[in-house]
A and B are shown apart, each in its own frame.
Chain A
Amino acid sequence: SAVISQKPSRDICQRGTSLTIQCQVDSQVTMMFWYRQQPGQSLTLIATANQGSEATYESGFVIDKFPISRPNLTFSTLTVSNMSPEDSSIYLCSVRGQGIVDEQYFGPGTRLTVT
């Protein structure tokens, strides 16, 4: 299994500002995933971050709004830019397991509130 940590665990931000969320994994992984969970909703994949290449964004998410960095095989950041109240969500970092089951492991999440 993978142990994933995220910083910050929660934050309250003003609209128009940006927040960078950090994700650290205790093992080297090829792909890291960023999910958004809006209040009372399910998880939605924002993008897949590969080391050494540009992140791949899902429909409805763009790099200007959610820039991602992946400097090495154990670390990634997600920035939520020019925030609005609609960005208030839990943001979760995730990696895929290496075993037969290949489940997704999730970080503890970053609970963001935009006022």
Chain B
Amino acid sequence: AQKITQTQPGMFVQEKEAVTLDCTYDTSDPSYGLFWYKQPSSGEMIFLIYQGSYDQQNATEGRYSLNFQKARKSANLVISASQLGDSAMYFCAMRAPPGNQFYFGTGTSLTVIP
């Protein structure tokens, strides 16, 4: 069965510092995709970054990078130079067969402190 685990219900980070949000996954399928989404208090889901299971390099998108450790089945999100606007819920998700359905973790609430 597919499973996504986020063990950090809440995290705090000082403005301008870097923070790592943890995500582990479980799938027996060799082909899958890993995603991170940000959900501000407004409720919308904002796509941040993607890592494919066959990608050799860690994905990066601006201040976001994904620390992909395939053997450990982890896909941690690193946010560099945190900003106050980064305060939100962050969800890790996996797309995997069958049906390529998306499976979401329980989320991590990030608070950036001025």
Please state if A42 and B91 are interface contacts (CB–CB under 8 Å): yes
Closest to A44 in B: B104
Please state if A109 and B43 are interface contacts (CB–CB under 8 Å): yes
Q: Chain A residues near B35: list those with CB within 8 A.
A: 103-104
- Measured as residues with beta carbon below 8 angstroms from the partner, the interface class of chain B is 20 to 34
Please state if A108 and B44 are interface contacts (CB–CB under 8 Å): yes
Please state if A109 and B44 are interface contacts (CB–CB under 8 Å): yes
Question: Given contacts A101-B50, A102-B95, A103-B35, are A42 and B104 in contact (CB under 8 A)?
Answer: yes
Interface string of B24-64 (1 = CB under 8 A from A): 00000000010101000011110100101000000000000
- Spell out A's residues near B (CB within 8 Å): 41-45, 90, 92, 94, 101-109, 111
- Spell out B's residues near A (CB within 8 Å): 33, 35, 37, 42-45, 47, 50, 52, 91, 93, 95, 100-102, 104-107
Please state if A101 and B33 are interface contacts (CB–CB under 8 Å): yes
Please state if A103 and B105 are interface contacts (CB–CB under 8 Å): no
Please state if A42 and B106 are interface contacts (CB–CB under 8 Å): yes
Name 23 A/B residue pairs within 8 A (Cβ), A-sorted: A41-B106, A42-B104, A42-B105, A42-B107, A43-B45, A43-B91, A43-B102, A43-B104, A45-B101, A92-B45, A101-B52, A102-B33, A102-B95, A102-B100, A103-B47, A104-B45, A104-B47, A104-B93, A104-B102, A106-B44, A108-B43, A109-B43, A109-B44
Please state if A103 and B43 are interface contacts (CB–CB under 8 Å): no
Please state if A90 and B43 are interface contacts (CB–CB under 8 Å): yes
Q: Chain B residues near A104: list those with CB within 8 A.
A: 35, 45, 47, 93, 95, 102
